[in-house]
Amino acid sequence: MAETQGDRRLPSLTGLRFLAAFAVFGFHVAVADPAAAAHGMPPAAHWIFRQGATGVSFFFILSGFVLCWSARPGQTMRRFWRRRAAKVYPNHFAGAVVALGVVLITGAALSAGVVVSNLLLLQAWVPDQKVYFGLNTPSWSLSCEAFFYLCFPLLLLAVDRLPGRRLWAATGAVLAAVCLMPVVALALPGDLRYWFVYVFPPVRLLEFLIGILLARIVRAGRWIRLGVLPAAALALAGYFASGYLPDGFSYVAGTVVPLALLIPAVAAADLRGARSILRSRALIRLGEVSFAFYLVHQLAIRFVDRAAGDWLWSHAHPLVVGLLMLGLSLVASWALYRVVEVPMMARLAGSPAANPQPEPAEATAA
C-alpha cells in the first residue's frame, strides 16, 4: 500500500497541542499550587485539572509522531540534531535564566548541582525530586526529549524496516509495555517508583516510540476508521477515569491508549480535509506559542504568588487569580516565542528569517 506523503501539514495537531499545554497549566494552578489550595480553589477546578499532568504524555507521543511524519529521505543526523537543539535549547536556557533570577531575588536555596544538571538537560536522570523538578520545573520533560532526539534516528530506522502488516502489532506491544511499567516499578523502593514511571527517560521513550509507529501507520494508509469525535470522547473518558486509578497507573498508563488513538485520528482528519475547530486561527496561534507557554507558565505562577501572594488570594476569587496567571503566562510566552524561539531557529537551524513559519508539523514537535 502506498504511503501518504509526510510533507503535508497537520495544523489541527498544532491547535490540539495548546489544549494539552493548558491542561498542564491548570494542574499547576488548581492542584499543585499550595497557595491555591490554602485559599479555597473550587473543588470543580481541582477535579477538572487533577489529571492535567498527563498532558506530558500527549506531548511525548505527539513528538514521536510529528518527527516521523516530517522526516525526509536523506536528512542527516547532524542536521536533525541541530534543528532539535535550535528549537528546544534557546527557550530552555532563557527559562532557566529567569528561574535562576527568581531564586536569587527571593533567596531560596539552590545547589550548583541542580543548576548544572538542568542547564545540561540531565535532570530527569537523577532520582531526586529536588533535581528533576528543580529550577524551572517543566523543563524535566525536555531532559527526556533530549534523550528521545538522540535515539530518534535509530528508532526511525528500526520502525521503517517493519513490514506494514506488523505495525499495529508492534504498537500494541509498546502500549502494553507502558501499561506494565507501574508493575515493574513495584520492584523498586517506594521513593523511586514515581520517578521511574513518570520521569525516567528510557521509560518515557516508549511513548515517543508509539508516536513514531502511529505516524508510520497513518502514512501507510493503515489507520482504522476512528473519527475525531469518538477519539476525543475516549481521550476525555480516559483523562477523567485515570484519576481513580492507583497512583502508579494514573500517571501514564491510564491515558496512553486513548491519547495514542486521538493523535492519528486528528492527523487523518487533516489529511482528508475535514473541518475542525482545531484549525481555527486562534488555536493555531496559541499552538505555535505552546512550547514557550509550557516553559514559562510555572514561572508566571510563582511570580504572581510571590509578588501579590496572600493579598491577591485573599481579595480576589481564586479563579480570577488563575486567569491573571494565565494572562501573564500568555504574554510571557508570546515574548519568548517572538524574541527567542523564532530568531534563534532562524539563526541556528537555517530557517529563513523572513519566513519563520515552521516546517511540516514542526510547531507541534517541540
Question: Which is higher by pLDDT, 77 or 173?
Answer: 173
CB 140 within 8 A of CB 133: yes
Spatial contact of 296 and 330, defined as CB atoms under 8 Å apart: no
Mean pLDDT taken over the chain: 90
What is the pTM for the complete model shown? 0.92
Three-state DSSP class for 216?
Answer: helix
Q: Which of 75, 119, 64 is nearest to 95 (CA)?
A: 119
Is 362's pLDDT higher than 50? no
Distance CA 192, CA 129 (A): 10
Could you tell me the pLDDT band of residue 351, with boundaries at 50, 70 and 90? low
What does the pLDDT read at residue 75? 79
Among residues of the chain, what percentage have pLDDT more than 90?
75
> Using 50, 70 and 90 to split pLDDT, how confident is the model at 62?
very high
Cα(113)–Cα(115) distance, integer angstroms: 5
Q: Is the pLDDT of residue 217 over 60?
A: yes
The pLDDT, as a whole number, for residue 361 is 39
Lowest mean pLDDT among 32-41, 122-131, 168-177, 276-285: 32-41
Contacts of 298 (CB under 8 A, 6+ apart): 28, 136, 137, 138
pLDDT in tens, 110-141: 888 999 999 999 999 999 999 999 999 999 99
The grid cell for 289 is 506559542
Q: Which residue has the higher pLDDT, 7 or 145?
A: 145
